[in-house]
A and B are shown apart, each in its own frame.
Chain A
């Protein structure tokens, strides 16, 4: 018998068959039922208390607060109608990444709100924040207020074990896999039932674009504020989140001055926040930036200690791929936002922007026509989760549509 370590609803080593049988007895609940909404709000409240000083967990707690959930419920209600009822998919299997501690919680909680049963596989390399989240949930389940959610939730922990992934995949109606690409490829070797669907969130790349004239029109205080927001975009997750910008563009008119000013201020924020970079990351950055100078048309670097290095590109180069994180930016000047379009690829996820008018942004998206860039956000919002992520509306993806054609049969 294949056994697995279950962390929630209560810790046990048990057979996968037993785990799945237990779960199958749980009711698939109606979307946005009162218990699921209470559960999410209670979780957010406890997390806010327990995760002091952990910005990503605080962001999650804020996102899942009562008013946020009520707004989601309203959004969800608009997706359906009397003729089109959104119903849960059944059982969702979530495979989050080992190295981002909170992002998977968004999809898991959304799936819970959608009424699904949820199996979450936690990596054996999971970090501190994951442990904290599991502890908060364990406490919540012990308190006994959410028996329905408790019965329809299973959190398991295992390393690379394709047998377990096979068994869990065979029992799910929806599989959600967070990248990297190698992890997704590995998970996809485990077949899904014929009716099941899958959402994947692979490796992504992100840009930031600043309109130089708009930037230079700002006063000192606003420039500092912008630098602080840009810091949050870039330095959370050590710049390794898929939506953390690493390439920034700007327009040429005074772009040099604007770029220098912005990065000088960013360096100030890095100092002010006393953002620490692990020594191994600092060394990896040295190696990465030296490699970059050999491989790509990099001009003279601007280094601000080991925490911020700006590599100006003389012309566009594909700098996607392996990355060290920890505060390395490529800088490219373009004449207009439209010039960016020819460089955009399928992998490109987020464009963080400052100072561009709405019509330019919309026409960029229309020109790209789906080739890349799933979201454009203002500076400071790169890592803010939205129910539409990587081009998928998760509330739709976690449900299916049952349609009711109310027209009378035309009897003759």
Chain B
């Protein structure tokens, strides 16, 4: 079986965020169209869907690639590899009672995901591994065949750092002494700080005293969603300003990604927009027609990725709303579509005579 084709290699080898959008779309469209055919042959459920909802005969652009609603992975086992080739199963970190997504990875897809993350992170952090501060308790990062998205993110990112320091103790309190030791040891050196947006806010920002930690040489990468912080009226600007005032950190990069497309991480550029790497992109769809929305118009976010080989997740309609604000200039180091994520699609008030099913629009 063919694993990686020419366009994918090129998307990896070219410097991230430096491709002209037109060239990127040509390479990506070819790769995505090939993936559609691959999954159609290998995944019977996917083939059934394409038979019922036939895609455009000619794939002229990314928006012509057939996409699946991400919730499908909560109810249906969609695999394009036989069971014995399943290397691990990723699950979303849904809260109790919610169904979780299950995405199966074979070795090739898992390798591509690792390679993808490396391409993104080395573009951001440089080729050398940096001392790494992880805003998480060590015991949370357990082991197992099934990984939650939060744990998977930490494990995935840990390989871009060295001398890892977990900033929280088992009770989720800040380990102040350990933190002071760590920062003292690497004073004046670039360090890498990683954690979920919520953990960084709740367990670092909320517990730090002003100037207790000097992070002016740090690069902070965080993600996982703003839902919990929206409730506290904390937006990205507030988040960054508070962190700057408290720690002096200037390089703060939010990321946007999901367990159904691990490795295809959108990274926040200096202008606050999220940028897809070379091998991924975004389409905003108008929920009234499901056609691609014009640039600048809010709609439902579809993410595409050239990575998923073992499951038909190369084009997924999320349950998030967003806007694409034009295309960045590759010459600045941040090329590609500029995505703003507006948050979850609000749940409709469902009516009817019965216990109406509302389970399909849930957090992942």
Contact = CB atoms under 8 A, between A and B. Distances in A.
Interface string B338-364: 000000011111111111110111000
Contact of B360 (A179, A182, A283, A298): A283
Nearest to A281: B348
Contact of B345 (A240, A280, A298): A280
B76 A291 contact: yes
Nearest to A129: B351
A324 B352 contact: no
A322 interface: yes
Interface in A292-322: 292-294, 298-301, 303, 305-307, 311, 322
B352 A284 contact: no
A280 to B, nearest CB: 4
6 contacts: A99-B349, A180-B355, A242-B354, A305-B288, A324-B360, A325-B352
Contacts of B355: 179-183, 203
A288 B300 CA distance: 17
Contact of B49 (A183, A293, A305): A293
Contact of A283 (B45, B71, B356): B71
A240 B352 contact: yes
A269 to B, nearest CB: 16
Interface residues of A, number: 53
B317 interface: yes
A175 interface: no
Given A280-B347, A283-B361, A286-B69, A325 B76 contact: no
Interface in A227-272: 237-238, 240-244
B353 A306 contact: no
B351 A278 contact: no
- Of A238, A278, A286, most buried by chain B (CB within 10 Å of CB) is A286
Given A279-B287, A279-B345, A306-B289, A301 B353 contact: no
Contact of B71 (A287, A292, A301, A325): A287
B72 interface: yes
Contacts of A210: none
Interface stretch (B29-37, B51-59, B326-334): B51-59
A242 B345 contact: no
Interface string B40-67: 0000010011011110000000000000
Nearest to B53: A301
A63 interface: no
A121 interface: no
A141 interface: no
B54 A204 contact: no
Nearest to B353: A242
Contacts of B48: 293-294
Contacts of A180: 353-356
B312 to A, nearest CB: 11
A331 to B, nearest CB: 13
Interface in B67-90: 68-69, 71-72, 75-76
A203 B317 CA distance: 30
A403 B300 CA distance: 65
Contact of B352 (A99, A201, A290): A99
A280 B348 contact: yes
A313 to B, nearest CB: 11
B52 A323 contact: no
A284 B361 contact: yes
B319 interface: yes
Given A180-B354, A282-B290, A299-B52, 14 more contacts: A180-B353, A238-B352, A240-B352, A240-B353, A241-B351, A283-B319, A284-B360, A287-B360, A290-B72, A300-B51, A300-B52, A306-B289, A324-B357, A324-B360
A100 interface: yes
Contacts of A101: 351
B205 interface: no
A127 B288 contact: no
A43 interface: no
Interface in B296-327: 300, 317, 319, 321
Nearest to A99: B351
B361 to A, nearest CB: 4
Contacts of B347: 280
A182 B355 CA distance: 7
A105 to B, nearest CB: 13
B357 A287 contact: no
Interface string A191-212: 0000000000111100000000
B52 A240 contact: no
B357 A286 contact: no
